[in-house]
Amino acid sequence: EVQLVESGGGLVQPGGSLRLSCEVSGFTLSYYWMHWVRQAPGKGLEWVSFIHTDGTTTRYGDSVKGRFSISRDTAKNTLFLQMNTLRAEDTAVYYCVRDGGNVGFDYWGQGTLVTVSS
Amino acid sequence: EIVLTQSPATLSLSPGERATLSCGASQSINNYLAWYQQKPGQAPRLLIFDASNRATGIPARFSGSGSGTDFTLTISNLEPEDFAVYYCQQRSNWPYTFGQGTKLEIK
């Protein structure tokens, strides 16, 4: 059974940092593109970041470019999102998502809430 | 960035009726469009990929159509569990983008 379990969310002050983790099971992390997608309270979905199967090719949304960094540890089957210089507008539920290729975003984690506030 | 515009913002229908949701792209995305369903407190669920292909386990009452810039998600014979928010998403160009969502509510 495919599972994605995020952790690491919480309350952080503006300007602070947080690292999200996503432990996956039921599939091999290195075989799939992976993404982070976020959803601000009461708002829609926003794509945040992507990592290729090669582990080095990454992309970021304009709103997080230069502040967030995606990475993975294939030995631990874990995806990460390092978030620096956090802003109030980064407050959201962050979802870890598997990219099934042409089938789209086929598996999602349950999400982890990040709240940026003083 | 490709902008996806969904309409209507809210759709009020009764169980048993047919729902038609639209998604328009600011430029051609071929058929690289997916639809997701999200219920309160839950993660989104993949319904349709490549504009018209149902994902695994999705009931036949869900169907997708369109190509280029205009896409439609049709839900025939609405069931009570279908009332939710629906998002379209394109994977033609980076950054991948989502529409703003259509809320399907019970009339």
The SS3 call for residue B82 is: helix
Low-confidence ranges of chain B (pLDDT < 50): none
A to B CB pairs, distance under 8 Å? 57
- pLDDT at position A102 is 84
Instruction: Choose the closest CB to B95 out of A59, A104, A108.
Output: A59
Residues A40, A92 contacting (CB under 8 angstroms): yes
> Which of B56, B87, B91 is the closest to A45 by Cβ?
B87
Q: What is the CA radius of gyration of chain A?
A: 13
**8 Å CB contact between A101 and A48:** no
Q: What is the pLDDT of residues A81-111, one digit of tens each?
A: 999 999 999 999 999 999 998 899 999 999 9
The torsion angles phi and psi of B15, rounded to 5 degrees, stand at -55, 140
How confident is the model over A6-43, as pLDDT tens digits?
999 999 999 999 999 999 999 999 999 999 999 999 99
Q: What residues of chain B have any CB closer than 8 angstroms to a CB in chain A?
A: 1, 34, 36, 38, 43-46, 49-50, 53, 55-56, 87, 89, 91, 94-101
